[in-house]
Amino acid sequence: MSVSSTDPSDIADDPRILRERIAELECERVELERARQVQFGASRVLESVAAGASLGDVLLILIDTVEAVKPEMLGSVLLLDDSGKRLRLGAAPRLPGFYNDAIEGITIGPAVGSCGTCAHTGERVIVEDVQTHPYWTDFREIALQAGLRACWSHPIISSTGRILGTFAMYYREPRRPDQSDLDLITFAAHLAGMAIERIRTEDALRASEQRLRALIQSAPVCIHELDTDRCVVSMNPAGLKMIGLSDEREIIGKAYLDCVSDGDRARVAELLEAAFAGASVEFEFTATMQEPPRVFASSFVPLKDSDGTVVRIMGVSQDITDRRQAERRQALMVQELDHRVKNNLAAVISIAQQTADRSESIEEFESALTGRIRSMGIAHEMLAEARWEGVQLQEMLARVLDPYRRDTPDCIKLTGPDLMLPAAIATPICMAVHELAVNAAKYGSLTNSAGQVSVEWECVEGDPAELRLAWRETGGPTVSRPVRRGRGTMLIERMIAYQLQGEASLDFDPSGVRCSIAVPLVEAIGNGQGTPV
Amino acid sequence: MTCDIKGLRVLVVEDDFDVAESLRAVLVKAGCDVAGPVSTVEAACDLAKNTPLDAAVLDIALSPGTSAPVARALLYRGCPFVFVTGFSNVDMLPEELRGYRVLLKPVDGETLRAAIHSLVQPII
């Protein structure tokens, strides 16, 4: 209650003083009522912001509040768009639609009505009569149509001093603001500024969260969070899939270090503590979530609260097991290839020497040498196609024997199971079969059309398993034991024994040459089902 | 100077049949008595420990393993040796064996004869 200077004893005596006093009190009551309304309106505005109302709705509540205090007044909020050059309607519920449409998107400037000028200068603009004021030259006609005469516009300024828009009060008659009007428009613009800033910040935050969530949900890496107990609190779908889980609940609450292999645990524990001390770290480790264990490349990024205390760790992991394997395989392949190329060159020199020693003419030398090198080439080609992981015996035999089928494709029969030969075994087998074919084409059953060659093989279980291959010639000319063994047939027995620790025996049976080869399959091989032995 | 290695007994360890044959042929032509050739660590160690030898030619990569055990057996009895390899590096060998002479495949006869000759030269 305001303190009156008048002595209460005078009031009863003088009706004039009494009337004045009553008028004063009435004024005070109106002011108080107005202040109460403003305060009530302000809390409604702030509540609606807190409740997550849209900016349009919040501005309507604000204007409602101000219009309730000043019933003849028509309120308007215009917002500067992203360009900072144009005004857009925020809210103006009692201004005519055509008027709002007309000023929508107007470019601000030094003399563009009250609001356009206000947004341009950042200063309050008071126009008591739009019909006479120079700022309104271009808008007099439409203002007349809308029945607007006075327009006071106050800038809405952000906490950082940026102009966000304008809060305007229109009247239907020319009018000059009094102090309470100026106080109210200042307060309303301030309140609008707070609401706009807060809502825009929240919108930006929401959009940012949405982007982040979309990223986490779709990223093909394992993204997880750890709490201060060093336990998993979240993991994205790709991460769950990576470790063979389908439900996040299976991992939530699990101690992170329990997923790390024994060998890596101490090191990762140290890095985890470093992350909780505020450092970003990168590391590789073997995880124990799956069998066989897989290798991950990971990073920890500390998430801090406003005090700078680390409250969470964001972890990102990528399964690099396959990449590591591929790298290892590639290194081995390059090494193997290097070795093989040089060994092959050495072998070619050796084959040339031996072939030369046993050839009677240069033509014989040439044909024998190219044939032998060709058989090496076939094994090499198939190994290269299979990326040095082995070759299918059947296909290798088919390729090496193909030139000897001539016009009778049925003259060579290949019978046996699917069998993947390791690289070290494939080449000698290929060369041995080549030598047998050369011999058959020269002296044996491939010299006439009635002759046949059958190649049968089997894989005998054992430790190690054994490849048994039988070459049988039938229907050819009668075989007599050669007086002088060529390099080729000699090679078969010795090479198989020497290089593969196997056995080969060549039998010059009169009805046809027979050769049986037994080789231990010492390297990993694949069977027909594709499972490694 | 010709590299006279006539009469030397030389061990040949090489897992590739053709390469072994080639090495053997070179040494036989030069008048050497060839022990082997052998293709496995086991057979090579047997010869390295139990037969008279003047020098040895060792392929580094054998299938399986390497000729490192053979080299150690030879070092133990003081028999000089030279490595032969198709690889461009000697990473497969244990560190203490990396200082020894390595011939890269393919090895021509002259290089092999010279290498063996230098192995058995008396140190003056």
Domain CATH number, residue A506: 3.30.565.10
Given pLDDT bands bounded at 50, 70 and 90, which one contains residue A523?
A: low
Which whole number is the average pLDDT over A300-320?
93
Do A388 and A247 sit in the same domain of this protein? no
DSSP 8-state symbol, A139: G
Q: What's the total number of domains in chain A?
A: 3
Residue B1 lies in a domain: no
- Rounded to the nearest integer, the mean pLDDT of chain A is 86
- Answer yes or no: are the C-beta atoms of A369 and A355 closer than 8 Å: yes
Residue B18 lies in a domain: yes
The candidate with the shortest Cα–Cα distance to A301, out of A292, A309, A310, is A310
Do A250 and A385 sit in the same domain of this protein? no
Given pLDDT bands bounded at 50, 70 and 90, which one contains residue A167?
A: very high
A335 Cα to chain B: minimum distance (Å): 7
pLDDT score recorded for residue A79: 96
Q: What is the CATH number of the domain that holds B72?
A: 3.40.50.2300
pLDDT score recorded for residue A88: 95
Could you tell me if B36 lies within 8 Å of chain A, comparing CB atoms? no
Place of tokens 């997923």: A259
Rounded to whole angstroms, how far apart are CA atoms A315 and A224?
5
pLDDT over 80 (residue A456): yes
The candidate with the shortest Cα–Cα distance to B58, out of B88, B78, B37, is B37
Sheet-wide strand order for A512-520: A412-415, A452-460, A466-474, A512-520, A503-509
Q: Which of A339, A346, A347 sits opposite B87 (nearest CB)?
A: A339
Which whole number is the average pLDDT over A374-399?
81
Do A279 and A428 sit in the same domain of this protein? no
Taking contacts as CB-CB distances below 8 angstroms, the residues of chain B near A346 are: 16, 18-19, 22, 86, 105-107
Rounded to whole angstroms, how far apart are CA atoms A428 and A523?
14
Range in A3-12, A44-53, A223-232, A237-246 with the lowest mean pLDDT? A3-12
**In terms of pLDDT, which residue wins out, B40 or A156?**
A156
pLDDT tens profile B52-95? 998 999 988 787 778 889 998 988 888 889 988 876 666 777 77
Provide, rounded to the nearest whole percent, the portion of chain A with pLDDT above 90: 45
pLDDT tens profile A90-121? 999 999 999 999 999 999 999 999 999 999 99
Could you tell me if B29 lies within 8 Å of chain A, comparing CB atoms? no
Q: What's the total number of domains in chain B?
A: 1
Domain that holds residue B94: 9-120
Interface with chain A: mutation pick from B12, B13, B15, B17, highest number of A CBs within 10 Å: B17
Taking contacts as CB-CB distances below 8 angstroms, the residues of chain A near B61 are: 339
How many other β-carbons are positioned within 10 Å of the β-carbon of residue A366? 12
- Answer yes or no: are the C-beta atoms of A232 and A240 closer than 8 Å: no
Residue A395 lies in a domain: yes
pLDDT over 90 (residue A157): yes
**In terms of pLDDT, which residue wins out, A116 or B16?**
A116
pLDDT over 70 (residue A316): yes
Domain boundary among A175, A203, A231: A203
How many other β-carbons are positioned within 10 Å of the β-carbon of residue A382? 21
pLDDT over 50 (residue A442): yes
The candidate with the shortest Cα–Cα distance to A490, out of A357, A312, A395, is A357
Which token pair is B60?
């580094």
The candidate with the shortest Cα–Cα distance to B97, out of B109, B108, B119, B82, is B82
Do A271 and A420 sit in the same domain of this protein? no
Residue B96 lies in a domain: yes
Which token pair is A25?
């009190």
Do A173 and A233 sit in the same domain of this protein? no
Which token pair is A289?
């979530």
Residue A387 lies in a domain: yes
Provide the β-strand partners of residue A301: A314
Tell if the CB–CB gap between A339 and B18 is shorter than 8 Å: no
Alpha helices in A122-156 (DSSP H): 140-146
DSSP 8-state symbol, B108: P
Residue A355 lies in a domain: no
Provide the β-strand partners of residue A153: A125, A168
CB proximity list for A301: less than 8 A, separation 6 or greater: A275, A280, A313, A314, A315, A316
Alpha-carbon Rg for chain B in angstroms: 13
Three-class SS state of B45 = helix
Taking contacts as CB-CB distances below 8 angstroms, the residues of chain B near A339 are: 61, 85-87
pLDDT tens profile A17-66? 888 888 888 888 888 888 888 888 888 888 998 888 899 999 999 999 89
Do A30 and A82 sit in the same domain of this protein? yes
Could you tell me if B25 lies within 8 Å of chain A, comparing CB atoms? yes
CB proximity list for A369: less than 8 A, separation 6 or greater: A351, A352, A355
Tell if the CB–CB gap between A343 and B105 is shorter than 8 Å: yes
Residue B89 lies in a domain: yes
Residue B2 lies in a domain: no
Taking contacts as CB-CB distances below 8 angstroms, the residues of chain A near B88 are: 338
Could you tell me if B42 lies within 8 Å of chain A, comparing CB atoms? no
Give contacts of B 49-78 with A, CB under 8 A: 61, 63-64
Alpha helices in A402-527 (DSSP H): 423-442, 487-500
Provide, rounded to the nearest whole percent, the portion of chain A with pLDDT above 70: 94
Residue A368 lies in a domain: no
Do A13 and A106 sit in the same domain of this protein? yes
Residue A422 lies in a domain: yes
Residue A269 lies in a domain: yes
pLDDT score recorded for residue B15: 84
- Answer yes or no: are the C-beta atoms of A152 and A168 closer than 8 Å: yes
Alpha helices in A443-521 (DSSP H): 487-500
Give the predicted TM-score (pTM) of the model. Answer: 0.50
ipTM: 0.76
Domain that holds residue A418: 375-520
Residue A229 lies in a domain: yes
Tell if the CB–CB gap between A499 and B37 is shorter than 8 Å: no
pLDDT score recorded for residue A440: 87
Place of tokens 């060093």: A230
- Rounded to the nearest integer, the mean pLDDT of chain B is 83
pLDDT score recorded for residue B87: 67
Domain boundary among A203, A232, A253: A203
CB proximity list for A467: less than 8 A, separation 6 or greater: A393, A419, A421, A425, A429, A457, A458, A459, A460, A517, A518, A519, A521
Rounded to whole angstroms, how far apart are CA atoms A366 and A355?
9
Rounded to whole angstroms, how far apart are CA atoms A346 and B16?
9
pLDDT over 80 (residue A366): yes
Sheet-wide strand order for A294-304: A232-235, A222-226, A310-319, A294-304, A281-287
Q: Which of A349, A424, A522 sits opposite B22 (nearest CB)?
A: A349
Residue B4 lies in a domain: no
Which whole number is the average pLDDT over A209-234?
93
Residue A124 lies in a domain: yes
A472 Cα to chain B: minimum distance (Å): 25
Tell if the CB–CB gap between B63 and A340 is shorter than 8 Å: no
Size of interface A-B (CB pairs under 8 A): 68
Interface with chain A: mutation pick from B18, B34, B62, B102, highest number of A CBs within 10 Å: B18
pLDDT score recorded for residue A487: 59
DSSP 8-state symbol, B66: B
Do A18 and A162 sit in the same domain of this protein? yes
A503 Cα to chain B: minimum distance (Å): 14
Do A81 and A187 sit in the same domain of this protein? yes
Alpha helices in A81-222 (DSSP H): 97-103, 113-121, 140-146, 179-218
Which token pair is A111?
């003399």
In a 13 Å sphere around the CA of A366, the CA atoms on its Cβ side amount to 3
DSSP 8-state symbol, A404: G
- Answer yes or no: are the C-beta atoms of A388 and A395 closer than 8 Å: no
pLDDT score recorded for residue A233: 94
Do A28 and A155 sit in the same domain of this protein? yes
Which token pair is A47?
């509540």
